[in-house]
């Protein structure tokens, strides 16, 4: 080995060490606060509860119990459907707003708009949800306005509609921001080229803007799905827990008999669903871009 080889090898080692030093905190963090609890959650799903105390065991009884219950399957289908519905609805509502912010307003206006979209996150989601009581109740603002034109009152709280309003309260600002970031990165010359080649507005959106912003649009949709799928507050307080979602089922399971292992089964099923949806969506989002 020559001296230059030795120096190069030393440099590579020190570079690896340098890189590891920067990566280490995030690795440790993930191990401590994600992988560790996740493994414990999986282990806990095999534990038993006796006299309100968990006992370490390796029994399948919790899995068998939950999978044999019709209400678990019903709650799963309902939660999946509601989260998917919220994702589609939110993405559709967010798109025109994000489009306008990306292409129709000045840089300064866009900055202010994003600032105002972030502001809701400064307040408690629970408080924002409860504020809908004033707006959606039968004696609330919306029904009072509708009564002026001879309509209503309509029941909006404790319905699927109420739950959906809650989901959008949680996710819409975030999805608009993500879509805006994605679309504002598009090189405007592509859009001009599309117009020059005779594309109409709709064709430009479907053939140029959406494909170019696809990654951001999908990431926004995935975030919406994840937040809605795991949300407890909206289906409980605005949907009246009627029917319950998986998050509510977790609460119900722990409330009676302190069945944390059975709640762990529900939580693992939820996580597996979210992992599947997230990985599939992200793989799809990036796959075409690489071609």
Partner 1 sequence: MNDKLTTTKVPTTRRKFLKYGASAVIAAPYITKVSAEPTTINMLAWYGHGEPDMVGAFEEANNVKFQAKYYAGGDNMMALIAQSPPGTYDIILSDGEFVQQLNAAGYIEELEPGDYNFDDMLHEDFTQFPGHWADGKLHSVMLRAGHLGVSYNKNFVTAEEAKSYKCFWKPELKGKVGHFDWHLPSLGQMSLLEGNGAGLWDLDDAAWKQVQDTTLSLRPQVGGYFDYGGTFNSLKNGEMHAMCGIGDWITGVLEKDGAPVASVIPDEGGIQWTESYCIGKGSEKADMVKAFIQYMLSPEGQVKSAQMAAYPGIVITKAGRKLLNEVDPVEAQRTGQVDGMENDPITLIKEGRIHYRNIPVQQSLEDWNDFWSEYKNA
> Which residues of the chain form contacts with partner 1 (CB under 8 A)?
51-53, 69-71, 74-75, 78, 130, 133, 137-140, 155, 157-158, 236-237, 239-244, 249, 252, 255-259
Report, in Å, the least distance between residue 64 CB and partner 1. Answer: 14
Q: Which residue, 176 or 249, is less far from partner 1 as judged by CB?
A: 249
Please spell the DSSP secondary structure of the chain, one letter per residue: --HHHHHHHHHHHHHHHHHHHHHHHHHHHHIIIIIHHHHHHHHHTT-EEETTEEE----SHHHHHHHT-HHHHHHHHHHHHHHHHHHHHHHHHHHHHHHHHHHTS-HHHHHHHHHHHHGGGGS-HHHHHHHHHHHHSTTSHHHHHHHHTT------TTSHHHHHHHHHHHHHHHHHHHHHHHHHTS-HHHHHHHHHTT--HHHHIIIIIHHHTHHHHHHHHHHHHHHHHH--HIIIIISTTSS--HHHHHHHHHHTTT-HHHHHHHHHHHHHHHHHHHHHHHHHHHHHHH-
Q: Which residue, 51 or 189, is less far from partner 1 as judged by CB?
A: 51
Q: Which residue, 160 or 282, is less far from partner 1 as judged by CB?
A: 160
Report, in Å, the least distance between residue 76 CB and partner 1. Answer: 11
Report, in Å, the least distance between residue 245 CB and partner 1. Answer: 10
Report, in Å, the least distance between residue 59 CB and partner 1. Answer: 15
Report, in Å, the least distance between residue 146 CB and partner 1. Answer: 16
Report, in Å, the least distance between residue 171 CB and partner 1. Answer: 22
Q: Which residue, 220 or 235, is less far from partner 1 as judged by CB?
A: 235
Q: Which residue, 97 or 248, is less far from partner 1 as judged by CB?
A: 248
Q: Which residue, 70 or 202, is less far from partner 1 as judged by CB?
A: 70
């Amino acid at each position: 080995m020559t001296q230059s080889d030795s120096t190069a090898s030393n440099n590579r080692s020190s570079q690896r060490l340098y890189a590891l030093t920067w990566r280490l905190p995030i690795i440790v963090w993930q191990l401590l606060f994600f992988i560790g609890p996740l493994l414990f959650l999986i282990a806990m799903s095999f534990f038993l509860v006796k006299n309100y105390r968990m006992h370490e065991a390796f029994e399948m009884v919790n899995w068998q119990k939950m999978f044999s219950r019709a209400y678990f399957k019903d709650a799963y289908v309902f939660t999946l459907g509601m989260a998917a519905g919220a994702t589609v609805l939110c993405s559709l509502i967010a798109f025109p707003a994000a489009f306008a912010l990306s292409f129709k307003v000045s840089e300064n206006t866009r900055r202010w708009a994003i600032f105002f979209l972030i502001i809701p996150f400064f307040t408690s989601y629970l408080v924002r949800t409860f504020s809908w009581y004033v707006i959606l109740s039968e004696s609330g603002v919306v029904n009072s306005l509708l009564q002026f034109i001879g309509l209503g009152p309509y029941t909006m709280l404790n319905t699927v509609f109420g739950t959906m309003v809650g989901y959008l309260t949680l996710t819409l600002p975030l999805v608009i921001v993500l879509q805006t970031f994605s679309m504002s990165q598009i090189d405007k010359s592509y859009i001009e080229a599309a117009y020059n080649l005779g594309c109409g507005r709709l064709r430009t959106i479907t053939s140029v803007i959406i494909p170019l912003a696809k990654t951001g649009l999908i990431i926004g949709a995935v975030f919406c799905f994840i937040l809605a799928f795991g949300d407890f507050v909206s289906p409980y307080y605005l949907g009246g827990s009627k029917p319950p979602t998986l998050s509510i089922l977790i609460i119900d399971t722990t409330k009676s008999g302190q069945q944390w292992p059975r709640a762990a089964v529900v939580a693992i099923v939820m996580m597996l669903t979210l992992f599947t949806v997230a990985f599939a969506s992200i793989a799809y989002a990036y796959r075409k871009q690489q071609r």
